[in-house]
Protein backbone atom coordinates (compact mmCIF):
# COMPACT_ATOMS: atom_id res chain seq x y z
CA UNK A 1 0.00 0.00 0.00
CA UNK A 2 1.17 3.49 -0.78
CA UNK A 3 0.89 5.75 2.23
CA UNK A 4 -1.50 5.58 5.14
CA UNK A 5 -3.79 8.59 5.28
CA UNK A 6 -5.94 8.02 8.32
CA UNK A 7 -3.46 5.96 10.30
CA UNK A 8 -0.34 7.89 9.29
CA UNK A 9 0.41 9.21 12.80
CA UNK A 10 -2.11 7.09 14.65
CA UNK A 11 0.21 5.91 17.43
CA UNK A 12 1.93 9.28 17.88
CA UNK A 13 1.84 10.03 21.60
CA UNK A 14 -0.55 12.89 22.33
CA UNK A 15 -2.10 12.91 18.85
CA UNK A 16 -5.48 13.41 20.54
CA UNK A 17 -4.34 16.85 21.70
CA UNK A 18 -4.59 19.92 19.51
CA UNK A 19 -0.93 20.71 20.07
CA UNK A 20 0.43 17.47 18.60
CA UNK A 21 -2.24 17.30 15.91
CA UNK A 22 -1.41 20.84 14.77
CA UNK A 23 2.34 20.05 14.74
CA UNK A 24 1.54 17.18 12.39
CA UNK A 25 -0.18 19.53 9.97
CA UNK A 26 -3.57 19.45 11.63
CA UNK A 27 -6.14 22.09 10.65
CA UNK A 28 -4.01 23.08 7.62
CA UNK A 29 -6.64 21.51 5.38
CA UNK A 30 -9.29 23.62 7.07
CA UNK A 31 -7.31 26.78 6.28
CA UNK A 32 -6.84 25.58 2.72
CA UNK A 33 -10.58 24.92 2.40
CA UNK A 34 -11.48 28.33 3.78
CA UNK A 35 -9.22 29.94 1.16
CA UNK A 36 -11.64 28.62 -1.46
CA UNK A 37 -15.44 28.71 -1.77
CA UNK A 38 -17.82 26.06 -0.42
CA UNK A 39 -18.52 25.13 -4.05
CA UNK A 40 -14.81 24.49 -4.60
CA UNK A 41 -14.68 22.26 -1.55
CA UNK A 42 -17.71 20.34 -2.76
CA UNK A 43 -16.04 19.95 -6.15
CA UNK A 44 -12.98 18.43 -4.44
CA UNK A 45 -15.17 16.00 -2.52
CA UNK A 46 -16.96 14.97 -5.70
CA UNK A 47 -13.69 14.61 -7.59
CA UNK A 48 -12.31 12.36 -4.85
CA UNK A 49 -14.99 9.75 -5.50
CA UNK A 50 -15.13 9.12 -1.75
CA UNK A 51 -17.92 6.71 -0.90
CA UNK A 52 -19.53 6.62 2.53
CA UNK A 53 -17.61 4.45 4.98
CA UNK A 54 -20.53 3.61 7.25
CA UNK A 55 -22.00 0.75 5.26
CA UNK A 56 -24.07 1.97 2.33
CA UNK A 57 -21.14 3.25 0.27
CA UNK A 58 -23.01 6.24 -1.14
CA UNK A 59 -20.91 8.95 -2.84
CA UNK A 60 -20.16 11.54 -0.20
CA UNK A 61 -19.89 14.53 -2.54
CA UNK A 62 -23.25 13.69 -4.05
CA UNK A 63 -24.81 13.43 -0.62
CA UNK A 64 -23.54 16.91 0.24
CA UNK A 65 -24.90 18.27 -3.03
CA UNK A 66 -28.40 16.99 -2.18
CA UNK A 67 -28.78 19.58 0.55
CA UNK A 68 -30.87 22.57 -0.53
CA UNK A 69 -29.00 25.82 -1.06
CA UNK A 70 -29.88 29.01 0.77
CA UNK A 71 -29.68 30.38 4.25
CA UNK A 72 -32.05 28.02 6.10
CA UNK A 73 -30.73 26.21 9.16
CA UNK A 74 -28.91 23.11 8.02
CA UNK A 75 -27.47 20.35 10.15
CA UNK A 76 -24.52 18.06 9.91
CA UNK A 77 -24.69 14.87 11.95
CA UNK A 78 -21.74 12.55 12.33
CA UNK A 79 -22.85 8.97 12.77
CA UNK A 80 -20.54 7.58 15.45
CA UNK A 81 -22.97 4.91 16.60
CA UNK A 82 -20.63 2.22 15.29
CA UNK A 83 -22.52 -0.90 16.35
CA UNK A 84 -22.30 -3.24 13.38
CA UNK A 85 -20.90 -6.44 14.88
CA UNK A 86 -17.24 -6.76 13.99
CA UNK A 87 -16.70 -3.04 13.42
CA UNK A 88 -14.29 -1.01 15.57
CA UNK A 89 -12.54 1.37 13.18
CA UNK A 90 -14.38 4.56 14.14
CA UNK A 91 -13.57 3.86 17.75
CA UNK A 92 -9.87 3.90 16.88
CA UNK A 93 -10.12 7.16 14.96
CA UNK A 94 -12.12 8.96 17.64
CA UNK A 95 -9.93 7.74 20.44
CA UNK A 96 -6.59 8.38 18.81
CA UNK A 97 -7.22 11.22 16.39
CA UNK A 98 -10.35 13.13 17.41
CA UNK A 99 -9.19 16.38 15.83
CA UNK A 100 -8.99 14.72 12.41
CA UNK A 101 -12.71 14.00 12.71
CA UNK A 102 -13.49 17.49 13.96
CA UNK A 103 -11.45 19.09 11.18
CA UNK A 104 -13.21 16.97 8.56
CA UNK A 105 -16.54 17.80 10.07
CA UNK A 106 -15.88 21.56 9.92
CA UNK A 107 -14.79 21.33 6.28
CA UNK A 108 -17.86 19.26 5.36
CA UNK A 109 -20.14 21.70 7.16
CA UNK A 110 -18.56 24.53 5.16
CA UNK A 111 -19.25 22.69 1.90
CA UNK A 112 -22.82 21.88 2.94
CA UNK A 113 -23.58 25.27 4.50
CA UNK A 114 -24.49 23.65 7.81
CA UNK A 115 -24.22 25.78 10.92
CA UNK A 116 -25.05 23.23 13.61
CA UNK A 117 -23.42 19.86 13.99
CA UNK A 118 -23.65 16.85 16.24
CA UNK A 119 -21.57 13.76 16.78
CA UNK A 120 -23.92 10.94 17.81
CA UNK A 121 -21.63 8.49 19.56
CA UNK A 122 -22.82 5.18 20.96
CA UNK A 123 -23.14 5.27 24.73
CA UNK A 124 -20.80 2.33 25.20
CA UNK A 125 -17.88 4.39 23.87
CA UNK A 126 -17.40 6.22 27.16
CA UNK A 127 -13.66 6.81 26.81
CA UNK A 128 -13.94 7.86 23.18
CA UNK A 129 -16.72 10.35 23.98
CA UNK A 130 -14.57 11.81 26.76
CA UNK A 131 -11.67 12.16 24.32
CA UNK A 132 -13.97 13.88 21.82
CA UNK A 133 -15.31 16.25 24.46
CA UNK A 134 -11.78 17.23 25.44
CA UNK A 135 -10.80 17.76 21.80
CA UNK A 136 -13.95 19.79 21.20
CA UNK A 137 -13.10 22.06 24.14
CA UNK A 138 -9.65 22.63 22.63
CA UNK A 139 -11.10 23.29 19.20
CA UNK A 140 -13.53 25.82 20.64
CA UNK A 141 -10.77 27.58 22.57
CA UNK A 142 -8.67 27.77 19.42
CA UNK A 143 -11.55 29.25 17.44
CA UNK A 144 -12.12 26.26 15.14
CA UNK A 145 -15.65 25.83 16.45
CA UNK A 146 -17.86 28.86 17.02
CA UNK A 147 -18.70 32.09 15.23
CA UNK A 148 -16.85 33.25 12.14
CA UNK A 149 -14.22 30.50 12.23
CA UNK A 150 -10.73 31.84 11.36
CA UNK A 151 -12.40 34.90 9.85
CA UNK A 152 -14.01 32.79 7.14
CA UNK A 153 -17.54 33.97 7.82
CA UNK A 154 -18.49 30.33 8.46
CA UNK A 155 -19.94 29.51 11.88
CA UNK A 156 -20.46 26.10 13.40
CA UNK A 157 -21.60 24.70 16.72
CA UNK A 158 -20.81 21.12 17.69
CA UNK A 159 -22.28 18.90 20.37
CA UNK A 160 -21.05 15.41 21.25
CA UNK A 161 -24.25 13.48 21.93
CA UNK A 162 -24.01 10.13 23.70
CA UNK A 163 -26.45 7.36 22.87
CA UNK A 164 -27.58 4.75 25.34
CA UNK A 165 -27.21 1.39 23.66
CA UNK A 166 -29.31 0.57 20.60
CA UNK A 167 -27.98 -0.84 17.33
CA UNK A 168 -30.86 0.67 15.39
CA UNK A 169 -29.60 4.18 16.17
CA UNK A 170 -26.86 3.57 13.61
CA UNK A 171 -29.61 3.63 10.98
CA UNK A 172 -29.68 7.27 9.97
CA UNK A 173 -33.33 8.05 10.61
CA UNK A 174 -33.39 6.03 13.82
CA UNK A 175 -30.38 8.07 14.83
CA UNK A 176 -32.22 11.32 14.11
CA UNK A 177 -35.20 10.31 16.22
CA UNK A 178 -32.86 9.29 19.01
CA UNK A 179 -31.02 12.60 18.75
CA UNK A 180 -34.36 14.34 19.08
CA UNK A 181 -34.83 12.57 22.40
CA UNK A 182 -37.15 9.81 21.25
CA UNK A 183 -37.07 6.04 20.92
CA UNK A 184 -34.80 5.28 17.98
CA UNK A 185 -37.43 4.10 15.53
CA UNK A 186 -36.54 4.50 11.85
CA UNK A 187 -38.63 6.86 9.76
CA UNK A 188 -40.42 6.30 6.49
CA UNK A 189 -38.36 7.54 3.55
CA UNK A 190 -38.87 9.77 1.62
CA UNK A 191 -38.52 12.45 2.77
CA UNK A 192 -34.81 11.83 2.97
CA UNK A 193 -32.72 13.53 5.66
CA UNK A 194 -31.15 15.85 3.06
CA UNK A 195 -34.57 17.52 2.82
CA UNK A 196 -36.18 16.76 6.16
CA UNK A 197 -33.87 15.39 8.77
CA UNK A 198 -33.03 16.61 12.24
CA UNK A 199 -35.77 18.88 13.61
CA UNK A 200 -37.31 18.61 10.13
CA UNK A 201 -34.40 20.59 8.70
CA UNK A 202 -32.03 19.63 5.86
CA UNK A 203 -29.44 17.29 7.33
CA UNK A 204 -26.23 15.75 6.09
CA UNK A 205 -25.33 12.52 7.88
CA UNK A 206 -21.87 11.04 7.50
CA UNK A 207 -19.92 8.28 9.15
CA UNK A 208 -16.83 9.04 11.27
CA UNK A 209 -14.34 7.57 8.83
CA UNK A 210 -15.93 9.42 5.91
CA UNK A 211 -15.57 12.77 7.64
CA UNK A 212 -12.09 11.93 8.95
CA UNK A 213 -10.99 11.35 5.35
CA UNK A 214 -12.00 14.85 4.27
CA UNK A 215 -8.85 16.66 5.52
CA UNK A 216 -6.68 14.25 3.48
CA UNK A 217 -8.77 14.89 0.38
CA UNK A 218 -8.41 18.64 0.74
CA UNK A 219 -4.68 18.31 1.41
CA UNK A 220 -4.03 16.05 -1.61
CA UNK A 221 -6.72 17.40 -3.88
CA UNK A 222 -9.71 15.33 -4.90
CA UNK A 223 -8.15 14.13 -8.13
CA UNK A 224 -5.04 12.83 -6.42
CA UNK A 225 -7.11 11.04 -3.82
CA UNK A 226 -9.07 9.42 -6.63
CA UNK A 227 -5.87 7.87 -7.95
CA UNK A 228 -5.90 5.54 -4.95
CA UNK A 229 -8.04 2.45 -5.02
CA UNK A 230 -9.99 1.11 -7.97
CA UNK A 231 -12.14 2.64 -10.68
CA UNK A 232 -15.30 2.70 -8.55
CA UNK A 233 -13.85 2.32 -5.04
CA UNK A 234 -11.47 5.19 -4.47
CA UNK A 235 -9.04 5.75 -1.70
CA UNK A 236 -8.02 3.90 1.40
CA UNK A 237 -10.26 2.13 3.85
CA UNK A 238 -9.97 1.10 7.45
CA UNK A 239 -10.72 -2.57 7.81
CA UNK A 240 -11.53 -4.17 11.15
CA UNK A 241 -10.51 -7.81 11.09
CA UNK A 242 -11.77 -10.06 13.86
CA UNK A 243 -12.77 -13.58 14.75
CA UNK A 244 -10.49 -16.49 13.90
CA UNK A 245 -7.38 -14.63 12.85
CA UNK A 246 -4.09 -14.47 14.65
CA UNK A 247 -3.71 -10.70 14.54
CA UNK A 248 -7.15 -9.11 14.88
CA UNK A 249 -7.11 -5.34 14.57
CA UNK A 250 -7.67 -2.31 12.40
CA UNK A 251 -5.73 -2.03 9.17
CA UNK A 252 -5.71 0.75 6.62
CA UNK A 253 -5.68 -0.70 3.13
CA UNK A 254 -5.99 0.64 -0.36
CA UNK A 255 -9.38 -0.40 -1.73
CA UNK A 256 -8.95 -3.26 -4.16
CA UNK A 257 -6.32 -5.07 -2.07
CA UNK A 258 -6.87 -8.85 -2.41
CA UNK A 259 -8.97 -10.11 0.48
CA UNK A 260 -6.48 -12.90 1.13
CA UNK A 261 -3.76 -10.34 1.70
CA UNK A 262 -5.88 -8.69 4.39
CA UNK A 263 -7.05 -11.85 6.12
CA UNK A 264 -3.82 -13.82 5.88
CA UNK A 265 -1.16 -11.20 5.18
CA UNK A 266 -2.15 -8.51 7.64
CA UNK A 267 -4.29 -10.38 10.14
CA UNK A 268 -2.34 -13.63 10.06
CA UNK A 269 -5.21 -15.91 9.07
CA UNK A 270 -6.62 -18.67 11.27
CA UNK A 271 -4.26 -20.51 13.61
CA UNK A 272 -2.16 -23.36 12.30
CA UNK A 273 -4.09 -26.37 11.16
CA UNK A 274 -7.34 -24.51 10.75
CA UNK A 275 -8.87 -23.08 7.60
CA UNK A 276 -11.27 -20.32 6.71
CA UNK A 277 -14.75 -21.79 6.63
CA UNK A 278 -16.54 -18.56 5.85
CA UNK A 279 -16.06 -14.83 6.30
CA UNK A 280 -18.32 -11.84 6.62
CA UNK A 281 -16.77 -9.14 4.43
CA UNK A 282 -18.73 -6.21 5.83
CA UNK A 283 -19.96 -6.86 9.34
CA UNK A 284 -22.43 -9.49 10.48
CA UNK A 285 -25.10 -8.00 8.19
CA UNK A 286 -23.26 -9.02 5.04
CA UNK A 287 -23.85 -12.35 3.28
CA UNK A 288 -20.97 -14.70 4.00
CA UNK A 289 -18.29 -15.58 1.49
CA UNK A 290 -16.19 -18.73 1.41
CA UNK A 291 -12.65 -19.81 0.87
CA UNK A 292 -12.91 -19.63 -2.89
CA UNK A 293 -13.72 -15.91 -2.61
CA UNK A 294 -10.49 -15.05 -0.80
CA UNK A 295 -8.75 -13.84 -3.92
CA UNK A 296 -11.38 -11.24 -4.70
CA UNK A 297 -10.21 -7.66 -4.49
CA UNK A 298 -11.61 -6.04 -1.39
CA UNK A 299 -13.69 -3.20 -2.76
CA UNK A 300 -17.35 -2.16 -3.03
CA UNK A 301 -18.01 -3.66 -6.44
CA UNK A 302 -16.13 -6.92 -6.14
CA UNK A 303 -17.97 -7.67 -2.90
CA UNK A 304 -21.32 -6.76 -4.47
CA UNK A 305 -20.58 -8.88 -7.52
CA UNK A 306 -19.84 -11.83 -5.24
CA UNK A 307 -23.31 -11.42 -3.74
CA UNK A 308 -22.22 -9.69 -0.58
CA UNK A 309 -21.13 -6.20 0.41
CA UNK A 310 -18.21 -4.23 1.74
CA UNK A 311 -20.49 -2.70 4.37
CA UNK A 312 -18.61 -1.07 7.18
CA UNK A 313 -15.36 -2.79 6.29
CA UNK A 314 -15.54 -5.32 9.09
CA UNK A 315 -14.17 -8.72 8.17
CA UNK A 316 -15.21 -11.48 10.55
CA UNK A 317 -13.41 -14.75 9.93
CA UNK A 318 -14.93 -18.07 10.99
CA UNK A 319 -12.69 -21.12 10.85
CA UNK A 320 -13.56 -24.73 10.21
CA UNK A 321 -13.74 -25.64 13.89
CA UNK A 322 -17.05 -23.80 14.21
CA UNK A 323 -20.44 -25.39 13.49
CA UNK A 324 -22.32 -23.15 11.07
CA UNK A 325 -25.48 -23.42 13.14
CA UNK A 326 -23.74 -21.65 16.03
CA UNK A 327 -22.81 -18.80 13.73
CA UNK A 328 -26.36 -18.53 12.40
CA UNK A 329 -27.86 -18.53 15.89
CA UNK A 330 -25.49 -15.86 17.18
CA UNK A 331 -26.28 -13.64 14.23
CA UNK A 332 -30.04 -14.18 14.33
CA UNK A 333 -30.27 -13.62 18.08
CA UNK A 334 -28.51 -10.29 17.74
CA UNK A 335 -30.99 -8.95 15.20
CA UNK A 336 -33.92 -10.28 17.20
CA UNK A 337 -32.65 -8.36 20.20
CA UNK A 338 -32.07 -5.17 18.21
CA UNK A 339 -35.23 -5.11 16.10
CA UNK A 340 -37.17 -2.02 17.16
CA UNK A 341 -40.43 -3.88 16.54
CA UNK A 342 -42.00 -1.29 14.29
CA UNK A 343 -42.28 -3.41 11.12
CA UNK A 344 -43.87 -6.86 11.27
CA UNK A 345 -41.55 -8.74 8.87
CA UNK A 346 -38.50 -7.77 10.91
CA UNK A 347 -40.05 -8.12 14.37
CA UNK A 348 -41.61 -11.53 13.66
CA UNK A 349 -39.06 -12.73 11.13
CA UNK A 350 -36.09 -12.34 13.42
CA UNK A 351 -37.97 -14.06 16.22
CA UNK A 352 -39.10 -16.99 14.10
CA UNK A 353 -35.68 -17.45 12.61
CA UNK A 354 -34.19 -17.82 16.07
CA UNK A 355 -36.92 -20.28 17.03
CA UNK A 356 -36.35 -22.42 13.96
CA UNK A 357 -32.59 -22.44 14.48
CA UNK A 358 -33.18 -23.49 18.08
CA UNK A 359 -35.42 -26.30 16.89
CA UNK A 360 -32.62 -27.54 14.68
CA UNK A 361 -30.22 -27.38 17.58
CA UNK A 362 -32.65 -29.06 19.96
CA UNK A 363 -33.22 -31.96 17.57
CA UNK A 364 -36.89 -31.33 16.93
CA UNK A 365 -36.60 -29.89 13.43
CA UNK A 366 -37.66 -31.47 10.16
CA UNK A 367 -36.58 -30.58 6.60
CA UNK A 368 -39.53 -28.22 6.40
CA UNK A 369 -37.90 -25.94 8.97
CA UNK A 370 -35.03 -25.14 6.62
CA UNK A 371 -37.46 -24.37 3.79
CA UNK A 372 -39.61 -22.14 5.96
CA UNK A 373 -36.58 -20.43 7.41
CA UNK A 374 -35.23 -19.70 3.94
CA UNK A 375 -38.57 -18.32 2.81
CA UNK A 376 -38.88 -16.13 5.92
CA UNK A 377 -35.62 -14.44 4.94
CA UNK A 378 -36.97 -13.72 1.47
CA UNK A 379 -40.11 -12.19 2.94
CA UNK A 380 -38.17 -9.82 5.16
CA UNK A 381 -35.94 -8.34 2.49
CA UNK A 382 -37.23 -5.06 1.11
CA UNK A 383 -40.40 -5.11 3.20
CA UNK A 384 -39.48 -2.87 6.12
CA UNK A 385 -38.86 0.80 6.77
CA UNK A 386 -35.17 0.19 7.34
CA UNK A 387 -32.73 -2.57 6.57
CA UNK A 388 -32.31 -4.10 10.03
CA UNK A 389 -34.44 -7.08 9.05
CA UNK A 390 -32.54 -7.40 5.79
CA UNK A 391 -29.36 -7.29 7.80
CA UNK A 392 -30.36 -10.59 9.37
CA UNK A 393 -32.04 -12.05 6.30
CA UNK A 394 -29.03 -11.56 4.03
CA UNK A 395 -26.42 -13.40 6.11
CA UNK A 396 -28.87 -16.09 7.29
CA UNK A 397 -30.07 -16.61 3.74
CA UNK A 398 -26.49 -16.94 2.57
CA UNK A 399 -25.62 -19.39 5.35
CA UNK A 400 -28.56 -21.59 4.41
CA UNK A 401 -27.72 -21.41 0.72
CA UNK A 402 -24.02 -22.08 1.14
CA UNK A 403 -24.06 -24.56 4.02
CA UNK A 404 -27.32 -26.42 3.51
CA UNK A 405 -25.59 -29.79 3.83
CA UNK A 406 -24.30 -28.85 7.23
CA UNK A 407 -27.70 -27.65 8.44
CA UNK A 408 -29.21 -30.95 7.29
CA UNK A 409 -26.49 -32.91 9.00
CA UNK A 410 -27.10 -30.93 12.17
CA UNK A 411 -30.83 -31.69 12.03
CA UNK A 412 -30.15 -35.37 11.58
CA UNK A 413 -27.55 -35.64 14.34
CA UNK A 414 -29.59 -33.65 16.84
CA UNK A 415 -32.66 -35.75 16.10
CA UNK A 416 -30.67 -38.93 16.59
CA UNK A 417 -29.57 -37.68 20.02
CA UNK A 418 -33.26 -37.28 20.85
CA UNK A 419 -33.99 -40.79 19.66
CA UNK A 420 -35.96 -39.46 16.69
CA UNK A 421 -35.78 -41.06 13.29
CA UNK A 422 -33.79 -39.91 10.28
CA UNK A 423 -35.55 -37.43 8.00
CA UNK A 424 -33.05 -37.34 5.16
CA UNK A 425 -32.67 -40.55 3.25
Partner 1 sequence: MNAELRADIEAHMALYPDSRSAALPALEAAQRVHGWCSPEAIEEVAEVMGVTPAYLAAVATFYDMLETEPVGKHSIYVCTNISCSLRGADALHAAVRDAAGDDPEFNVRSFECLGACDIAPMASVDGVFVGPLTLEDVPQLLDDIRAGRPVLPDKQLSTRLVADPNANSREFPAHPIEVGSTTDASGGGVSAPAQAPPAESVGGEGT
Site for partner 1 (CB under 8 A): which residue of 116, 154, 237, 342?
116
Rounded Cα–Cα distance for residues 18 and 400 (Å): 50
Report residue 387: phi and psi, to 5°. Answer: -100, 15
26 and 103 in contact (C-beta within 8 Å)? Answer: yes
334 binds partner 1 (CB under 8 A): yes
| Residue among 186, 182, 180, 171 at smallest CA distance from 199 | 180
How many whole angstroms separate alpha carbon 302 and alpha carbon 260? Answer: 13
Interface of this chain with partner 1, residues 194 to 223, rule: CB under 8 A = 199
Q: How far is the CB of 335 from partner 1 (least distance, A)?
A: 10
- Tell which residue, 402, 396, 391, 394, has the closest CA to residue 329: 396
* Closer of 221 and 248 to partner 1 (Cβ): 248
Tell the burial category of 208 from Cβ atoms under 10 Å away from its Cβ (0-12, 13-18, 19+): buried
Give min distance, CB of 175 to partner 1, in A.
12
Nearer to partner 1, 146 or 268 (CB): 268
Q: Please, which of residues 296-325 interact with partner 1 by CB under 8 A?
A: 314, 316, 318-323, 325
Instruction: Report the greatest alpha carbon distance in the chain.
Output: 80
Beta carbon of residue 183, minimum distance to partner 1 (angstroms, whole number): 4
Q: Decide whether 33 or 198 has the Cβ nearer to partner 1.
A: 198
351-390 residues in contact with partner 1 (CB under 8 A) are 358, 361-363
- Judged by CB under 8 A, the stretch of 20-28, 51-59, 204-212, 330-338 that binds partner 1 is 330-338
Query: What does the radius of gyration of the chain's CA atoms come to, in whole angstroms?
Result: 22
Task: Give CA angle at 126 (125, 128), nearest 5°.
Answer: 65
Task: Give the C-alpha separation, 265 to 219, whole Å.
Answer: 30
Residue closer to partner 1 by CB (options 138, 319) is 319
Stretch 384-423 residues interacting with partner 1 (CB under 8 A): 401-403, 405-406, 410, 413-414, 417
The least distance separating partner 1 from the CB of residue 395, rounded to whole angstroms, comes to: 10
User: Segment 267-296, which members bind partner 1 (CB under 8 A)?
Assistant: 268, 271, 273-275, 277, 284, 290-292
Asked whether position 84 contacts partner 1 by CB under 8 A, the answer is yes
For residue 264, the minimal CB distance to partner 1 (Å) is 13
Transcribe 337-391 into DSSP letters. Answer: HH--S-SHHHHHHHHHHHHHHHHHHHT---HHHHHHHHHHHHHHTT-SSSSHHHH
d(C-alpha 212, C-alpha 7), whole Å: 11
Near partner 1 in 40-69, by CB under 8 A: none
With CB under 8 A as the contact rule, the residue among 124, 133, 348, 408 that binds partner 1 is 124
Least separation in angstroms between CB 151 and partner 1: 26
Amino acid sequence: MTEALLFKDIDEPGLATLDVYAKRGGYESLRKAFATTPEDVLAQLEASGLRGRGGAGFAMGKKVSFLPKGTIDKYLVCNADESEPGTFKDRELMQKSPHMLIEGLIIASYAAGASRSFIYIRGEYVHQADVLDAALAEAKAAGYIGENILGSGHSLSLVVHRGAGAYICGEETGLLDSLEGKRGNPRLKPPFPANQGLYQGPTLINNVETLATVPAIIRMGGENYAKLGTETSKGTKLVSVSGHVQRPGNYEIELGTPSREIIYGLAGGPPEGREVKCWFPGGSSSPVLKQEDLDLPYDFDAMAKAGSMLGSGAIIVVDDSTPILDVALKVAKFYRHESCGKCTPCREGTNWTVKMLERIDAGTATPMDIEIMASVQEHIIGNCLCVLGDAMAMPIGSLIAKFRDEFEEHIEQARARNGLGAVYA
